[in-house]
Structure formats: structure tokens, C-alpha cells
């Protein structure tokens, strides 16, 4: 469900992502006089308060006028997410993997959801209940088969994490790791960098040439993984929400 809020020749468009999260676009804000700008702001405030929406923008130059509008609204900037990319054209893992990666098709749905519930515990990138987060990730695959591509990570036959490679449907040479995570007792052991690196290798084997990844500014451990695997910071996403 998308929502368009208009006034005079300007508009704010809210584009549904998952849950209560919406991307936001603007058009012709600069043509509004103070009176019409205030009316558009009031219309926007009324909707986001009623619906308890979370709004996602970014720091690109094209979003400057929109972000000024958002900062004048009832919304507060509640979190920031960093966006990275990396060319995989010449990518190759240097070290042999210490772990085993099995497609989730080898496990029952209950087993898969159980390990997912474990790996997202304490993760600052995850804000919803486990079921809602998991269903949202499946939705992002746009109906494509994901059970062969998504992996359970094992060490000495113990399930220690998950790795979810995904090739974008509408961009034949681009992809991401929808999620990478370890169960709490296997964190802070230097495993994440290698698992992330293996995820990049899986993407390359699926003919992905450009990788995009992201993490919240507060997720220091994942930021170190991006740095160690030589991913480039390219953008910053902003998340706004009505203060409680």
C-alpha cells in the first residue's frame, strides 16, 4: 500500500517496504510558499501519527529538501544505516573455509526458524519479532526459490549461524546477503569475516558482479567485517519515527 500526500504542485510519496516501514520520495517541494508548505507538513504529520509509520530516507544530495521537510515534521531521526558495495568481478576467497554450508532445504522449517531466532538475538539490525523479520526476508526474494541459496553454517556439525545470499531479480548482475548472523555463543571469535567472505563467493558463483550490503551505525562488529573485507561505504540511510 503506497500513500501520496499532495498540496498544490508538490507531493510526498510513501512507498511500502515491510511492516510499518516506508520509503519516502518528494516532488516539487521547492515550489511551495510558506502557507502551502505548512499545509503539506500538517497532512504528512497527521498520517504518520495515525499509522505509526517508520520512514526511510538517505543522505544523498537529491534528498536534501526532503530531509529538511522530515526534520521539520513530528518525526525524530532514530537510527542510521550505512550502505556498502564491492565489485565481485575479480573476487576470490583467499583462505579455505573452516565451516560447512548446507542449504536450508536440508532442514525442517522448524529447525530453520529456530536457528534464525537464535542468530538475531541481540542484533541491533533486527527490530521486529523473529517471525516478522523472517517472513520479511522471504518476501524480499520476490517469490524466487531461496531454499537452495540460503545456508545454515555448521562447525563440527554444530549449527552456528545463517547466511542468506540473494541475487536481485531486477538487476541481473547485482546481489546482497540478506542476512548474516551467528548464534550468541559463537560471536566475537573472528568467524563473521570469513562467513561474510564465503557469502560473497556464493554470490559470485551465482553470476553476481556487484555486491551491496548494509548495517546499522550501532553495529560496530559488522562495520569491522565490511572494513576487513574491503567493502566501500557509498551511502547512509536515515530512519525517522514519531517519538514515543
CATH number assigned to the domain comprising residue 215? 3.40.630.30
Whether residue 232 is found in the same domain as residue 113: yes
Whether residue 115 is found in the same domain as residue 177: yes
- Answer whether residue 79 is part of any domain: no
| Interval 86-113 mean pLDDT | 90
114-144 tens-digit pLDDT: 999 999 988 767 767 888 888 888 888 876 6
150-180 tens-digit pLDDT: 999 999 999 999 999 999 887 679 999 999 9
Whether residue 60 is found in the same domain as residue 161: no
- Answer whether residue 156 is part of any domain: yes
The answer to whether 83 and 212 have CB atoms below 8 angstroms apart is yes
Q: Which domain holds residue 40?
A: 3-73
Say whether pLDDT at 88 is over 80.
yes
Whether residue 45 is found in the same domain as residue 128: no
Instruction: Give the strands of the sheet with 54-58, arranged side by side.
Output: 3-7, 10-16, 21-27, 54-58, 232-242, 75-87, 210-216, 174-182, 158-167, 151-155, 100-103
User: How many CB atoms neighbour CB 228 within 10 A?
Assistant: 14
Grid cell, residue 144, equals 524466487
For the chain, the domain total comes to 2
Domain boundary pick from 42, 73, 104: 73
Domain boundary pick from 23, 53, 73: 73
Whether residue 43 is found in the same domain as residue 93: no
Whether residue 36 is found in the same domain as residue 114: no
Whether residue 209 is found in the same domain as residue 117: yes
- Answer whether residue 244 is part of any domain: no
Amino acid at each position: 500500500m503506497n500513500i501520496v500526500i499532495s498540496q498544490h504542485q508538490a507531493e510526498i510519496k510513501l512507498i511500502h517496504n515491510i511492516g510499518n516501514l516506508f520509503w519516502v520520495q518528494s516532488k516539487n517541494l521547492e515550489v511551495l510558499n510558506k502557507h502551502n508548505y505548512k499545509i503539506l507538513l500538517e497532512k504528512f504529520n497527521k498520517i504518520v501519527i495515525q499509522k505509526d509509520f517508520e520512514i526511510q530516507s538517505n543522505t544523498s544530495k537529491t534528498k536534501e529538501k526532503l530531509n529538511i521537510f522530515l526534520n521539520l515534521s513530528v518525526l525524530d531521526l532514530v537510527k542510521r544505516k550505512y550502505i556498502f558495495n564491492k565489485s565481485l568481478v575479480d573476487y576470490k576467497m583467499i583462505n579455505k573455509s573452516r565451516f560447512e554450508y548446507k542449504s536450508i532445504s536440508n532442514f525442517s522449517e522448524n529447525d530453520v526458524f529456530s536457528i534464525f531466532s537464535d542468530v538475531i538475538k541481540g542484533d541491533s539490525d533486527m527490530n521486529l519479532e523473529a517471525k516478522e523479520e523472517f517472513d520479511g526476508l522471504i518476501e524480499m526474494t520476490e517469490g524466487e526459490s531461496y531454499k537452495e541459496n540460503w545456508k545454515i553454517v555448521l562447525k563440527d556439525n554444530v549449527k552456528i549461524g545463517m547466511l542468506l545470499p540473494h541475487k536481485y531479480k531486477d538487476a541481473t548482475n547485482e546481489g546482497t546477503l540478506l542476512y548474516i548472523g551467528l548464534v550468541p555463543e559463537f560471536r566475537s571469535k573472528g568467524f563473521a569475516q570469513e562467513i561474510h567472505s564465503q557469502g560473497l563467493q556464493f554470490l559470485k558463483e551465482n553470476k553476481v558482479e556487484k555486491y551491496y550490503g548494509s548495517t546499522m551505525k550501532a553495529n560496530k562488529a559488522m562495520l569491522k567485517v565490511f572494513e576487513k573485507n574491503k567493502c566501500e561505504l557509498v551511502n547512509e540511510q536515515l530512519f525517522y519515527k514519531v517519538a514515543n
